[in-house]
Chain A
Amino acid sequence: MKTTSNNRPTSLLLILLCLLILSLSLSSVLADSHFEGFDAEDDVVEDESLDLDSLRKLTDLPLTQSDSSPPITKTTHLTSSDPQSDSDPKPNPTPENPKLSSPTTSFDYWDEDEFEGVPVLHPPPDTQETTENAAPNQNLDPKTTKESKTVPVPKKPSSYLVEIVSVTFLIMFLINYFTGKRENENLALAWAAKFATKDSIFEKNFSLLGVGEGDDSPLLLKEGQNVFKFYASGRRYCSGLLATMELKSRHDLISRLYNLVVPCKDEITFEVYMNEDAMDHVVFAMAKKKAAKGMQKELQDLNRFAGLVAAPTGGRKWVADELGVISESKEVAGDMITDTVLEQVFGEKAFEKFGRGFISMHLSDQHPGIQKKVLIFKFALPDANNMTDMTRLVALVPYYIDLIGRYKLSPQARSKTDAARQKAAQEAYKELQNARQEALQRKKAERKKMMEEAEAKLSAESIRKREAKERTRQMKKAMPRVKMTRGN
């Protein structure tokens, strides 16, 4: 009872890689903060210019008025000068006051622009000044003061928002990866413990259990984080059984979130490979009605040999109303749906209780692929704690192996199915021949093309040769003249 250990190194690798990602992301945070600085500075400048504009609009001052003022204003600001303190107590600021104060702001700004090399001294007075100016201007424009105070400060945390969100998401992803992985493993192990350990259904029916060789072979093969495989062999009528558990991708946070919107189930698929001599002509499938229609259309063998079978009239018991039956003939359908099956799982009453996890079953001797005679059962897995719920469903598998192994069609039905299979075989043969002929024709066409191209090349070369010859001829004609001229 253990999962195969061939994925241990991968998990280790995963951890290492995740750490790498994290470290990379941290370093990129640092790198980003560098760019951040640039962004923030730009924003500040923009804000200032905005402030300036608003101030200008408010005041509409001629710039010439305070040519000599900048030095004065600086001193005044640093020492909290008299004119300002004078203006503060005044309850109603006269129009002169803003005129006096606003050009100082504009000029400070201009100064800053002109002397870009020495911005260190300016910013503190700048802020002071704006706050001081704000006092007299409060009733005029409180917005500008607010902006100048508030905007540059919260800009920085908000710019890290992306980093914070994505790092927390990554951490959540990592945690979810390990917890979800464990959940899936627990579910698969619960299934194996219930059905593949000693004195369980598969132990009693198959002589070889597990994916490896020897007695101590692991039962389950893990493929990816959400696919588990179980193999059993050594039973009459069949060469092997492969159960594939496809669980929800609980380890993946993104698809987990997606599954909140579009729910899906944990599924288990049993594929039984029947011996060549152990299966008569049977094409049969059963699923919930909608799914049955879909299967009939999509699956090649069902589409070709079988059709939907209506419930027989008369006193015979039949499967629950939700189920649709697809079969080659009514005889096969009647023989496949035995009284025991109806009683145990598929009858009206039993299906409500025990058939909840049933998705579909598909018995076919014309399965497309290498293995032709295959039985496929698909069930939904219950929780790890309620594995007993699906005992009857799992018991269907060996039951049908025996039923099919012993089943013989009646001669009448057999002649019909023989005819159908011969027809199908003939058509397949024809298709194969057609495909071969097409391939041959394609080859011929390609060869022709090649020949033509080669000829074209040859002709081009011959033309070139001809041209070269003509040139040489002309040269020869020209040569003596040249000599003549040289000689002269």
Chain B
Amino acid sequence: MSSHNNSSSVNDPRQPSSAKPFLPPAVSPQDLPVDYSGFIAVVFGIAGVMFRYKLCSWLAIICCAQSLANMRNVETDLKQISMAMM
């Protein structure tokens, strides 16, 4: 079945004339998956500052690291993360 059959029996399936270059679909920032870890980081950070409970601050830093690792485009996410770092 595979491509070998096709190429041998029915000429070449390739059509360079109809090739279209790749257009990356524009993704609006709202469509991006929600950055839960960043949100949690902000919550923990505030809790850590409010209650002077250092475990919260550490959890916030860890969540920050996670959201850093998972971010897809730098521009939008860096803002959030810098917020969380504060």
Residues of A within 8 A of B (CB): 9-10, 13-14, 17-18, 21, 24-25, 28, 32, 35, 162-163, 166, 169-170, 173-174, 177, 201, 204-208, 210-213, 221, 223-225, 227, 231, 233-236, 239-240, 242, 249, 251-254, 340-341, 343-344, 391-392, 395, 398-399, 402
Contact = CB atoms under 8 A, between A and B. Distances in A.
Contacts of B15: 207, 234-236
Given A32-B54, A213-B21, A398 B70 contact: no
B71 interface: yes
B65 interface: yes
Contacts of B16: 207-208, 234
Given A32-B54, A234-B18, A234-B19, A398 B13 contact: yes
A21 B13 contact: no
Contacts of A341: 1
A39 to B, nearest CB: 10
Contacts of A392: 2
B34 to A, nearest CB: 14
Interface of B: 1-3, 6-7, 10, 13-22, 24, 37, 52, 54-55, 57-59, 61-62, 64-66, 68-72, 74, 78, 81, 85
B41 to A, nearest CB: 11
A459 B15 CA distance: 73
Given A224-B70, A254-B66, A340 B20 contact: no
B47 to A, nearest CB: 14
Provide the main secondary structure of the chain A interface: helix
B20 A239 contact: yes
B3 A170 contact: no
Contacts of B59: 166
A208 B3 CA distance: 16
26 contacts: A17-B68, A17-B81, A25-B58, A25-B61, A28-B54, A35-B52, A166-B58, A173-B65, A201-B3, A205-B6, A207-B14, A208-B19, A224-B70, A233-B22, A234-B16, A234-B19, A236-B18, A240-B22, A242-B22, A341-B1, A344-B1, A344-B2, A392-B2, A398-B3, A398-B6, A399-B2
A25 B59 CA distance: 11
A207 B17 CA distance: 9
A166 B61 contact: yes
Given A25-B61, A213-B21, A234-B14, A205 B68 contact: no
A249 B18 CA distance: 36
Nearest to B7: A204
A251 B68 CA distance: 11
Contacts of A251: 69
Contact of A231 (B2, B22, B78): B22
Contacts of A170: 61-62, 65
Contact of A205 (B14, B20, B85): B14
A391 B1 CA distance: 12
A340 B61 contact: no
B18 A239 contact: yes
A398 B2 contact: yes
Nearest to B64: A21
8 closest pairs, A vs B, by CB? A234-B19, A395-B2, A208-B19, A207-B16, A166-B58, A231-B22, A340-B1, A207-B14
Contacts of A213: 21
Contacts of B85: 21, 24
Given A35-B52, A162-B54, A252 B66 contact: yes
B40 to A, nearest CB: 11
B71 A235 contact: no
A146 to B, nearest CB: 29
Given A163-B58, A207-B19, 4 more contacts: A13-B74, A17-B81, A233-B21, A242-B22
Nearest to A237: B13
A166 B62 contact: yes
Contacts of B6: 205, 398-399, 402
A174 B72 CA distance: 17
Contacts of B24: 211, 221
Contacts of A399: 1-2, 6
A201 B2 contact: yes
A302 B57 CA distance: 49
A10 B54 contact: no
A392 B55 CA distance: 52
B22 A18 contact: no
Given A32-B54, A235-B13, A402-B6, A395 B1 contact: yes
B51 to A, nearest CB: 13
A207 B72 CA distance: 30
A32 B14 CA distance: 66
A242 B20 CA distance: 12
Given A205-B14, A206-B14, A233 B19 contact: yes
A376 to B, nearest CB: 16
Given A21-B61, A173-B62, A208-B21, A249 B2 contact: no
Contact of B70 (A205, A249, A395): A249
A398 B66 CA distance: 39
A178 to B, nearest CB: 10
A173 B3 CA distance: 44
A274 to B, nearest CB: 12
